Amino acid sequence: MKNYRILIVDDDANLRVGMSTILEDEGFEVAEAENGRDGIEKLGRGVYDLIITDYKMNEMDGLRFLEQLKQEYPSMKVIMVTGFGTIENAVEAMRLGAINYITKPIKPKKLVQVVKETLHVSDSDEASPEDKEARLEKYHHFHKLVGQSKAMQQVYRRIKEVAATDIPVLIVGESGTGKEMVANAVHEMSQRQKKPFVAVNTGAIPRELVASELFGHLKGAFTGAIADKKGTFEEANEGTLFLDEIGTMSQKVQISLLRVLETQVIERVGSNRSIKVDVRIIAATNENLETMIENNEFREDLYYRLNVFTVELPPLRERKGDISYLSNYYRERFNTELNKNVTGFSPRALEALEAYQWPGNVRELRNIILRAVLAATNQVDVKHLPNSVVKPGLAKVNITFKPGVALSEVEKTMIIQTLKAVKGNKLKAATVLGISRRSLYNKLEEYNIADEEV
């Protein structure tokens, strides 16, 4: 069974200890808090799957605790304990966000049943192999996002605040933190949820083709335009368009995008016919756009158009409490996809995963767990993890040059060797070189360095 963590909040020590004993005997990991304030403090320090709280407590009663909980921890599952027959209390608790309730006197079998129902735990805790979504559902905390840490709860709260509106959203965070998943969550909670969600990584498209990708083109508009083509704005009409890595767009495309945001009208490349569109824009970047504005690399007016509401995604190193969740989520996911039966992680493996700094964030974790599940038979151990995780540290790059070598050749060689040393991780390479990721991309383009070279 997944190692579920439960926090019991009750000022009655006997009841609190009694529930803890019952649930620990069932294999749950249980922590206790003697009142609502103590509970909030423990939530700030730890990560939990479920809260069980009493309705009546002397210091911060159950309803006040629940109200604060839903403000600060919107994805948290809560069971309210109420006096026998006080159905009104249970109804009020459910209105404020409790998922379930149980009445006193508490019967052990009933407590276990309600907890398992709330956590969607069966006796075997296994769905059929065919039902992949059911196997993964127990790890989802908020619209397929995984994580119960305080840092992620703040993200969930921001998503809830903006989803029902139609204003532009800017998602900022390092590469690999899950910006597209957050954008999709905003879309799924919006009034446009039944309309298209179209994602475009503008950084992965050659600069000269970005305008065509966004706005479409007419046949013959440029070399290779062999037929008329709709752009992603038209594909996302009445829905949501997610633009990732917007800092990579040329100034010309930035001007066109600004015009569309102001008018909701596009023109295909090679055409002067206006096409009306109704699209919500969610943009994302791992760059510091304010610095890019200072360097005349990004338009200030476009920035203010996009930056109406910001969601900041924390790097994985700032949400260590979620690493165990994410690791088990990917283990389960790859078990079903690869027809494997890896049962978990050894303590040493989990310790190594939680100690690592994760420069590639969740994307890096996903790839490492994939390789570990492929290699493991029973459980993932440290021997299934790469040395970069077990023995972390930036690679040393030793380069020697003959006298008289051009400075540009020195710079090019250093970039190539650094990328090789960090296995192509551009964020890590930029850190080692002491430059921004944007500057690294510019150098790669300037020196015509292809991925194959690194």
Per residue in 158-197, pLDDT tens? 999 999 999 999 999 999 999 999 999 999 999 999 999 9
Higher pLDDT, 262 or 411: 262
Identify whether residues 201 and 245 lie together within a single domain: yes
The CA-to-CA distance between both ends of the chain, in Å, stands at 42
199-234 pLDDT, tens digit per residue, is: 999 988 888 889 888 998 888 777 777 888 888 999
3-state SS class at 345: strand
3-state SS class at 4: coil
- Mean pLDDT value across residues 32-48: 89
Identify whether residues 285 and 334 lie together within a single domain: no
Angle between helices 426-433 and 407-421 (to 10 degrees): 130
Instruction: Evaluate whether residue 270 is within a structural domain.
Output: yes
155, two tokens = 């993200």
Identify whether residues 237 and 340 lie together within a single domain: no
- Domain count for the chain, please give it: 4
Identify whether residues 167 and 308 lie together within a single domain: yes
Query: Is residue 440 very low, low, confident or very high in pLDDT (cuts 50, 70, 90)?
Result: confident
Instruction: Evaluate whether residue 402 is within a structural domain.
Output: no
Q: What is the rounded CA–CA span in Å between residue 14 and residue 6?
A: 17
- 8 Å CB contact between 240 and 188: no
- Mean pLDDT value across residues 393-406: 58
Instruction: Evaluate whether residue 138 is within a structural domain.
Output: no
- 8 Å CB contact between 345 and 383: no
Identify whether residues 114 and 25 lie together within a single domain: yes
Return the minimum-mean-pLDDT range out of 80-94, 365-379, 394-408, 416-430. 394-408
Identify whether residues 306 and 335 lie together within a single domain: no
Identify whether residues 221 and 353 lie together within a single domain: no
Identify whether residues 186 and 255 lie together within a single domain: yes
pLDDT surpassing 90 at residue 404: no
Residue 1's pLDDT is what? 52
54-112 pLDDT, tens digit per residue, is: 888 877 777 888 888 888 898 889 998 887 556 677 677 777 778 888 888 899 999 99
- Rounded to the nearest integer, the mean pLDDT of the chain is 86
Q: What is the rounded CA–CA span in Å between residue 87 and residue 68?
A: 22
Higher pLDDT, 86 or 339: 339
Residue 194's pLDDT is what? 95
Residue 206's pLDDT is what? 85
Angle at 256 between CA 254 and CA 257, to 5 degrees: 65
Identify whether residues 10 and 99 lie together within a single domain: yes
- Mean pLDDT value across residues 138-153: 85
| CATH number of the domain enclosing 377 | 1.10.8.60
Instruction: Evaluate whether residue 232 is within a structural domain.
Output: yes
Residue 55's pLDDT is what? 84
Last residue of a domain, one of 96, 119, 142: 119
Residue 69's pLDDT is what? 87
- 8 Å CB contact between 174 and 361: yes
Last residue of a domain, one of 312, 340, 370: 312
Identify whether residues 293 and 419 lie together within a single domain: no
Identify whether residues 253 and 370 lie together within a single domain: no
pLDDT surpassing 70 at residue 125: no
Query: Is residue 295 very low, low, confident or very high in pLDDT (cuts 50, 70, 90)?
Result: very high
Instruction: Evaluate whether residue 31 is within a structural domain.
Output: yes
- 8 Å CB contact between 79 and 112: no
Q: What is the rounded CA–CA span in Å between residue 34 and residue 340?
A: 43
Percent of the chain scoring above 90 in pLDDT? 48
Residue 134's pLDDT is what? 63
Last residue of a domain, one of 119, 154, 187: 119
| CATH number of the domain enclosing 58 | 3.40.50.2300
| CATH number of the domain enclosing 288 | 3.40.50.300
Instruction: Evaluate whether residue 145 is within a structural domain.
Output: no
261-290 pLDDT, tens digit per residue, is: 999 999 888 888 889 999 999 999 999 999
Beta-bridge partner residues of 282: 169, 242
Instruction: Evaluate whether residue 417 is within a structural domain.
Output: yes
Residue 395's pLDDT is what? 45
Structural domain of 75? 5-119
Identify whether residues 21 and 101 lie together within a single domain: yes
pLDDT surpassing 70 at residue 129: no
- Mean pLDDT value across residues 382-402: 72
- 8 Å CB contact between 438 and 287: yes
Beta-bridge partner residues of 203: none
- Mean pLDDT value across residues 141-170: 92
Instruction: Evaluate whether residue 267 is within a structural domain.
Output: yes
Residue 452's pLDDT is what? 63
| CATH number of the domain enclosing 419 | 1.10.10.60
Return the minimum-mean-pLDDT range out of 13-22, 94-103, 254-263, 311-320. 94-103
Query: Is residue 20 very low, low, confident or very high in pLDDT (cuts 50, 70, 90)?
Result: very high
pLDDT surpassing 70 at residue 5: yes
